[in-house]
Amino acid sequence: MSAGGPIIELRGVGREYPAGENTVTVLRDIDLTIRAGEFVAVIGASGSGKSTLMNIIGCLDRPSAGSYRIKGRETARLDPDELAALRRESFGFIFQRYHLLGELTALGNAEIPAIYAGESPASRRARAGALLDRLGMAERSHHLPGQLSGGQQQRVSIARALMNNAEVILADEPTGALDSQSGQEVLRILEELHAEGRTVVIVTHDPTIAARAERVIEISDGRIIRDSGAAAAPGAPEARHPPASSGLIRALWTRFTEAFRMAVLSMRAHKLRSFLTMLGIIIGIASVVSVVALGEGSRQKVLENISGLGTNTLEIFAGRDFGDMRSGRITTLVVADAQALSSQSYVAAVTPTVNASATLRFGATAVNAQLRGVGEQYFDATGTTISQGRAFDAAGLRDMAQDVVIDENTRASLFPDESVDPIGQVVLADNVMLRVIGVASTRQMGPGGGQSLSLYLPYTTVQARFLGSTSLASITVRVADDVDTALAEQAVEALLTQRHGTKDFFIVNTDEIRQTITATTRTLSLLIAAIAVISLLVGGIGVMNIMLVSVSERVAEIGVRMAVGARRSDIMQQFLIEAVLVCMIGGVLGIAAALGFGAAFGRMTSEFALVYSSGSILAAVASASLIGVAFGFLPARNASRLDPVAALAKG
Ligand code: ADP
Ligand code: MG
């Protein structure tokens, strides 16, 4: 019986390596044709170029001169992915040192080529199991390589070579690391594969092994010095039936899930390293999320505080500005001004204000308090809420009623006992008896706000009983909701200037204050967030750093994957997924840390709470994955650009 058609045709193939200034020529002028179904042994001294030849035949390496055709296809014209496809589909490589992946079981190792071929998990597992069974490894299929003997590991690597039903088996000193009995066993398997119709090329030192081949090629110093010639081969090779490849989408999905699984496996194998990598991301994300929450919490607190200023109010004071020395003596701001203002269409509420201070007595307690004489619209105008009791009304103002609304501060210092109802109690301010009719929330900001004790009385009462004067300290105007505060301010100014004949007052616009404070808070939040983003960036660079180290540590693994047919994109995908996973898990842990920080913060202070927004949390996860992609890209690309032979040599 004659051999099949030529599969492998080398014409004038040479291989040189640069060595300093010169080049080393490892192979020169190799002419070799191997036909389908042949069993070829390649022999020669160590360093004669046997492995180099095998790597070229197996498309792991490219010749630097000459032509190499596989079934008539010129390999020089193939791109890296097409070469990967040849390694995956046409060749099964068996190495002297097995080159199994230590994190995977025998079964897992055997099925790798089928993963890159896009075969579904169930079918490839079944076939890998059947192959291991055939090679007498059924019992051991769930063992890791470290738990197997050399001969057993070599049988796993044979199963891997057969996984995609390769037409050509390339075995580079497959028995070199085995004891003689295991070596015989492996040889028997190779002979069986040959008998099935496969083309087998074996490199060996051992003349007894070479004697069993039909054709022996001897290499010396990079040249073929002897070729026993093509021998009769067994019958036509069996029709190859490549594994049923599922649809393109399915195949892509299979490769993706596999890359994902590998990324998880490798993270599990290097727990500490993965955690340390994550730490940068955890700290970055935790600080971004808590800083944003802190910013939001303090902003809401500030907003709550400035709501004490009332909504859209104008406060009109006598004098030119705060601190005008004469303002105490300026008596031009009068009740008639307030009445004139109250009839304006842009005014929602108006209240005159006079101020006095008095010593407040109740029982044995004596405290200093601010007396604020106000109109009945005061509470409405300033947005001050009555939490208990009621406010005085127009009748109270007319009658100069000795009714008082106290603020929370005053209630707390005069009536510390919560069970005492302050409503109806009579307190003494200087020598004036005042009946408590209501409790108002304390104004946090603005004049008279904060820590002082404030009492609200009808301004008529304060004028008559405490001041003996009818001039006002200020007039507070609440601008109607649909009117622009700035326009209202102009109108008020025009009206009062006209009434007084001169501008002897000034107006404080709370809307402006609010805007200023809000803008300041926002600027501050932005600043802190920028710092947090920088820490996130540093975390990302940490990820890139560790991923680069990880790639250089795993060169051998990458080489093995490429040798069994992984595309560049498969390698890239695996390392990118790993980077993204590290970052995303780090992101989730970072968010958990931020929430924990918020809880701890809540226990330490009640000043204000952290306010988390689902938006910022989502953004944190998104930016963590983005960092994974951005900073994982360079290492992943480096990994995918590795040269398969150089990578394998590191194994
Ligand atoms: P064999 O398998 O026959 O022992 P090899 O093919 O591995 O021999 O190597 C043949 C020669 O090529 C050796 O002298 C080796 O040092 C050299 N060689 C192999 N790979 C490289 C390389 N990447 N760079 C430089 N020289 C190399
Ligand atoms: Mg060698």
Query: SS3 letters for 71-108?
Result: CCEEHHHCCHHHHHHHHHHCEEEECCCCCCCCCCCHHH
In testing the pocket of ligand 1, which one of 24, 27, 555 has its CB within 8 Å of the most ligand atoms? 24
Please check whether residues 209 and 332 belong to one and the same domain.
no
Question: Is 15's C-beta closer than 6 angstroms to any atom of ligand 1?
Answer: no
Q: What token pair was written down for 70?
A: 């596989």
Give the tens place of pLDDT for each residue, 97-156.
999 998 899 999 999 999 998 888 899 999 999 999 999 999 999 999 999 999 999 999
CA angle 386, 389, 395 (to 5 degrees): 90
CA of 45 to the centre of ligand 2 (A): 9
Please check whether residues 225 and 153 belong to one and the same domain.
yes
Asked if the structure places residue 152 within a domain, the reply is yes
The alpha carbon dihedral of 141, 145, 148, 149 has a sign of: positive
Please check whether residues 521 and 645 belong to one and the same domain.
yes
- Residue closest to 115 by CA, chosen among 141, 93, 134, 88: 88
The alpha carbon dihedral of 408, 414, 420, 422 has a sign of: negative
- 3-state SS assignment for residue 290: helix
Asked if the structure places residue 251 within a domain, the reply is no
Give the pLDDT of residue 329. 61
Choosing from 463, 490, 510, the residue where a domain stops is 510
Asked if the structure places residue 126 within a domain, the reply is yes
**Do the Cβ atoms of 551 and 270 come closer than 8 Å?**
no
Pair type for strands 432-440 and 403-407:
parallel
Q: Which ligand is nearest to the CA of 42?
A: 1
Nearest alpha carbon, ligand 1 atom 14 = 47
Give the pLDDT of residue 437. 93
Q: Rg of the chain over CA atoms, in angstroms?
A: 44
CA atoms of 427 and 25, how far apart (whole Å): 110
CA of 108 to the centre of ligand 2 (A): 27
Q: Which atom of ligand 1 is nearest to the CA of 645?
A: 23
Give the tens place of pLDDT for each residue, 585-618.
999 999 999 999 888 888 888 777 888 888 888 8
Q: Which ligand is nearest to the CA of 19?
A: 1
Neighbours of 634 (CB within 10 A): 15
Nearest alpha carbon, ligand 1 atom 16 = 47
Asked if the structure places residue 208 within a domain, the reply is yes
- 3-state SS assignment for residue 129: helix
Please check whether residues 569 and 622 belong to one and the same domain.
yes
Please check whether residues 393 and 430 belong to one and the same domain.
yes
CA angle 286, 290, 295 (to 5 degrees): 150
CA atoms of 116 and 620, how far apart (whole Å): 33
Please check whether residues 522 and 503 belong to one and the same domain.
no
Question: Is 222's C-beta closer than 6 angstroms to any atom of ligand 1?
Answer: no
Choosing from 510, 545, 569, the residue where a domain stops is 510
Question: Is 48's C-beta closer than 6 angstroms to any atom of ligand 1?
Answer: yes
Give the tens place of pLDDT for each residue, 472-516.
888 988 888 888 888 888 999 999 999 988 888 888 887 777 778
Neighbours of 357 (CB within 10 A): 15
Question: Is 52's C-beta closer than 6 angstroms to any atom of ligand 1?
Answer: yes
- Residue closest to 195 by CA, chosen among 89, 37, 42, 40: 37
Given a cut of 70, the residues of the chain with pLDDT beneath it are 1-3, 230-246, 306-311, 323-330, 443-451, 651
Please check whether residues 266 and 165 belong to one and the same domain.
no
Q: Which atom of ligand 1 is nearest to the CA of 50?
A: 3
Asked if the structure places residue 142 within a domain, the reply is yes
- Counting the structural domains of the chain, the total is 3
Domain of 98 in residue numbering reads as: 6-245
Please check whether residues 149 and 30 belong to one and the same domain.
yes
- Check which CATH number belongs to the domain holding 191 and give it: 3.40.50.300
Nearest alpha carbon, ligand 1 atom 19 = 52
Question: Is 51's C-beta closer than 6 angstroms to any atom of ligand 1?
Answer: yes
- 3-state SS assignment for residue 165: coil
Question: Is 26's C-beta closer than 6 angstroms to any atom of ligand 1?
Answer: yes
Question: Is 23's C-beta closer than 6 angstroms to any atom of ligand 1?
Answer: no
Angle at which helices 510-553 and 614-640 cross, to 10°: 30
Q: Which atom of ligand 1 is nearest to the CA of 53?
A: 6
Residue 355 parent element (H or E): strand 347-362
Asked if the structure places residue 250 within a domain, the reply is no
Please check whether residues 49 and 186 belong to one and the same domain.
yes
Q: Which atom of ligand 1 is nearest to the CA of 203?
A: 2
Write the DSSP string, 223-283: EEEEE--PPP--SSPPPP-------HHHHHHHHHHHHHHHHHHHHHHTHHHHHHHHHHHHH
Asked if the structure places residue 119 within a domain, the reply is yes
Choosing from 482, 510, 538, the residue where a domain stops is 510
| Owner of token pair 């009385």 | 457
In sequence order, the β-bridge partners of residue 476 are 315, 351
Please check whether residues 486 and 545 belong to one and the same domain.
no
Please check whether residues 621 and 495 belong to one and the same domain.
no
Query: Listing from the earlier edge strand, what are the strands of the sheet with 215-220?
Result: 91-94, 168-172, 199-203, 39-44, 215-220, 223-227
Asked if the structure places residue 339 within a domain, the reply is yes
Please check whether residues 384 and 294 belong to one and the same domain.
no
CA of 548 to the centre of ligand 2 (A): 30
pTM attached to this predicted model: 0.70
**Do the Cβ atoms of 242 and 88 come closer than 8 Å?**
no
